[in-house]
Amino acid sequence: MPSTQPDPDAAARRTLTRHRAFATGLLLAMVGLILLARRLPPGPWTELLEASARAGLVGGLADWFAVTALFRHPLGLPIPHTAIIPAQKARLGAALGRFVANHVFTGREVARILGQLDMPAIIQRFLADPAASRPAAEALAGLMPRLLASIEDGRARRLAARLLPRLAGGPGAGRVVARALRGLVNGGRHQEVLAFLMVQLKAAILAKEDQLQAAIAERVREQGGRLIGWALGASIARRTLTTLHAELDKLTAGGSDLRDAFDEWVRREIDLLENDEARAAELGQAIRRLLAHQTMQAWMWDVWARLRRALEQDAERPNGHTIALIESALGNIGQVLTDDPAARARVQHATEAIAANLLPSGRAQLADFIAGVVGGWDSATLVDRLELRVGKDLQYIRINGTLVGFVAGGALFLLLRGVF
């Protein structure tokens, strides 16, 4: 089926045709002047016209041959050293690739262009545009199953099993735990944990209150005898449980001596973890032993497997939390680039550094790419594209050759006539 798309080179093709016709017409004009001179009466002016026209015809033919020999065989004759471009397209493509790579994409030029581009502003505009950031977030979410699968690789699993206990149970583990606990304590979270535990303990006591009363009464009978147990056992049990409930209520309400003592104990232990290297190392070793235990590792991998399935399923949903989270993160990065000049400078510096590191191999690949593209073109396509780009200027060579030959032929005729 013929293509219905408009020819993008139609204007250049018409221009080339027009200039080629003018150059050929000028050459035919020289032929016409020669024939005219042969029909005029003999004389100096006739001889001058004929000599000039002959020289113009020779100059025009020579330049026509030279221009045509670049692209094809003149008149279809396989004359040596003609059709230069089709015959040498591989070598020309390699030379063009080396020229572009070594003289256009230089380190100085790339750095200058990157400096003018303002890459942080380009990235910020991209991330600020929902029409661009949303597809980017979906693409990153689509990569998540592959990234998660890499963690499930057997070698990665074994490496994680060896490294995780060492990293989490290293010498600084105690200090890390201490800093985390201090943050919780400063926010009052440790009291919330204590209150939760007390509420759970109170609920457990209430659920077993009858059994506890019976156990306390039995203990009183064992220690004081049957008579005291019969008279005071039940009463002592009730008062003991009532006192215990009252203390638990104080702990859950806040402001009790036990809460203050618990707060003091927690802060003292945190100080020991931060300042006592032996205590910090002891905690690190305990963490290492815990994480290295097979049961703990099996539990962590089971949790990871559940988390992975949930992440993969969520990443597949267009309205899932994963895509929304990635899109929000991209938006936050764009906002940081807008508000923080230091971040913009770091991004610009990183871009220039990456370009500088990739430039040597990139230039080699660019040269090979250009050579491969030019060498892969068929001869007709190569000739057509090059001739459309430079053909008009080459026709001016033909025109100038004809005119210069005409003038030079007349000047040479006059010089020889004057000398001889």
**What's residue 109's pLDDT?**
78
DSSP 222-287: HHH-HHHHHHHHHHHHHHHHHHHHHHHHHHHHS--HHHHHHHHHHHHHHHHHHH-HHHHHHHHHHH
Tokens of 267: 């802060």
Amino acid 55: pLDDT: 94
Can you list the residues of the chain whose pLDDT is less than 50? 1-2
CB 401 within 8 A of CB 24: no
Enumerate long-range contacts of 9-12, CB under 8 Å, 24 or more apart.
9/388, 12/388, 12/389, 12/392
Burial of 170 (0-12, 13-18, 19+ CB in 10 A): middle
pLDDT tens digits along 17-51: 899 899 999 999 999 999 999 898 988 899 999 99
Indicate the Cα dihedral angle 380, 383, 386, 389, nearest 10°: -80
- Which sequence spans correspond to the domains of the chain? 12-87+378-419, 188-275
CA–CA separation, 349 and 136 (whole Å)? 23
Rounded Cα distance, 234 and 239, in Å:
9
How many C-beta atoms surround the C-beta of residue 320 within 10 A? 14
Tokens (6 digits) for 202: 């109170």
Torsion angle, alpha carbons of 7, 12, 13, 14, to 10: 110
Kindly report the pTM of this predicted structure.
0.42
Give every CB contact of residue 78 below 8 A, 6+ residues apart in sequence.
none
Q: Give how far the C-alpha of residue 217 lies from the chain's centroid of Cα atoms, to the nearest Å.
A: 74
Q: Output the pLDDT for position 1.
A: 47
Place of tokens 């990871």: 304
DSSP conformational letter for 84:
H
